[in-house]
Amino acid sequence: MSTAYAAHSPPPLHRDDTLLRRYDTSGPRYTSYPTALAFHDGFTPEDFTQALERSNTGRRGLSLYVHIPFCEKICFYCACNKIATKNRQLAEPYLSRLDREMVLAARHLDGARQVEQLHWGGGTPTFLTLSQMSDLIDRLDARFGLSHDPNRDYAIEIDPREADVLTLRHLQSLGFNRLSLGVQDLDERVQRAINRVQPRRLTETLMDEAQRLGFGSLNLDLIYGLPHQSRRSFAATLAQVIDLAPARLSLFNYAHLPERFAPQRRINESELPGRDEKLAILHTSIAMLEEAGYVHIGMDHFARPEDSLTRAQRDGTMTRNFQGYSSHAQCDVVGLGVSAISRVDDVYAQNPVTLDAYAAALDAGRLAICKGLRLGEDDLIRRAVIERLMCDMRLDLAEIGARFGIDAEAYFCEALSRLEQARRDGLIERSGAVLTVTPIGRLLIRHLAMAFDARMTPPLARRYSRIL
């Protein structure tokens, strides 16, 4: 453990805890606006292909998201779309259907558009064999034309239990330059309770090799609120993680929703930390990360000052999509695979969440779009406002007004009225037409963004996870 953090106890409960409790309601993470709950099944594959064709006029770069749903083992906390199996050959028909989907989508895109961003998520993308990974990259390159630009952002999510140094060398040869490693917690008692036993040495070995190979950015995912966690135990995990010096850290709040996600029923609810302890874990973590030099990007994301994500936030070019915060703004996102969501031009489009429905659509020779939404003018304005607030932690209403040709302060008078209590409570400051989120407001940015959400009603809000 790092001596910098082992020498003192975690800080006591924070003075702002009463305020945080009051604002800790349920709400969206705003990886899109409108959120996926607004998507409808009247949106067709033809609506999506028309959006693909419209998007060519802007010549924006492309961001490709590929969903690999397979996992060898199920982690009990997981809320992702996944299929548990040890049989790697089950991926073969899936890869063939992915290729069919690529062909159907790519025929509507200008081949000169650069693939600036690529992200493989899951599930566990490293479930694939090395040859299957090569095959998938070859298909992506053949259909879309992958980039060798040093500024590209080609990332893959890795389960350290299912990867080794040979995997990393292979991924580098395929063009990946950023890795995201799932850690969650290094405490063995916690790991056993969530069915994810993962000794530190696995993560450390992979990180050492990734740094030696020159991967541009490493992200580690942690989760707080899991069984047996306390501020003291999580501080011990975080001290070890800080020693590993990743460029980025994601500190996710565990949302216990066993009625929606069957694997979570295996978690003993009585072993979860209480609300006060979760807040203490969060405060301790933020204090340790800031002391170690990390910048609190917002919500649950932290990055080193020199990382591309931090630079993008400083420059006002950071964006937010279904993979979270991204340094590559202004890209059209094409989602491939079961449950994948696309953001292209003025539409969102989603694939089926079941493998059978996804396969049936592609086997019939059509894109597997099952629902989506085309945004109206009000949606586009509010999307821009929520995105800038979530990404920049500030909002210039005059800038929004000039961009959309509106009197933004008058347009959002109701939202500004809803934010007045948050301003009095110190979550946000206002100077003329500029709103600036305070440090404590960064933790509650989802609540602040909800003020601008015209589609949010109290019953709908309860369908989302809690903010903290």
CATH code, residues 38-335 = 3.80.30.20
Q: What is the pLDDT of residue 26?
A: 85
Note the pLDDT tens digit of each residue in 252-283. 999 898 988 899 999 999 999 998 899 899 98
Query: What would the 3-class secondary structure string for the chain be?
Result: CCHHHHCCCCCCCCCCHHHHHHHCCECCCCCCCCCHHHCECCCCHHHHHHHHHHHHHHCCCEEEEEEECEECCCCCCCCCCCEECCCHHHHHHHHHHHHHHHHHHHCCCCCCCCEEEEEEEECCHHHCCHHHHHHHHHHHHHHHCECCCCCCEEEEEECHHHCCHHHHHHHHHHCCCEEEEEEECCCHHHHHHCCCCCCHHHHHHHHHHHHHHCCCEEEEEEEECCCCCCHHHHHHHHHHHHHHCCCEEEEEECCCCCCCCHHHHHCCHHHCCCHHHHHHHHHHHHHHHHHCCCEEEECCEEECCCCHHHHHHHHCCCEEECCEEECCCCCEEEEECCCCEEEECCEEEECCCCHHHHHHHHHCCCCCCCEEEECCHHHHHHHHHHHHHHHHCEEEHHHHHHHHCCCHHHHCHHHHHHCHHHHHCCCEEEECCEEEECHHHHHCHHHHHHCCCCCCCHHHHCCCCECC
Note the pLDDT tens digit of each residue in 286-324. 999 999 999 999 888 999 999 999 999 999 999 998 888
Domain boundaries, the chain: 38-335
Percent of the chain surpassing pLDDT 70: 96
Q: What is the pLDDT of residue 461?
A: 63
What's the average model confidence in pLDDT over 203-223? 93
pLDDT at residue 20 is higher than 90: no
Residue, of 17 and 126, whose pLDDT is higher: 126
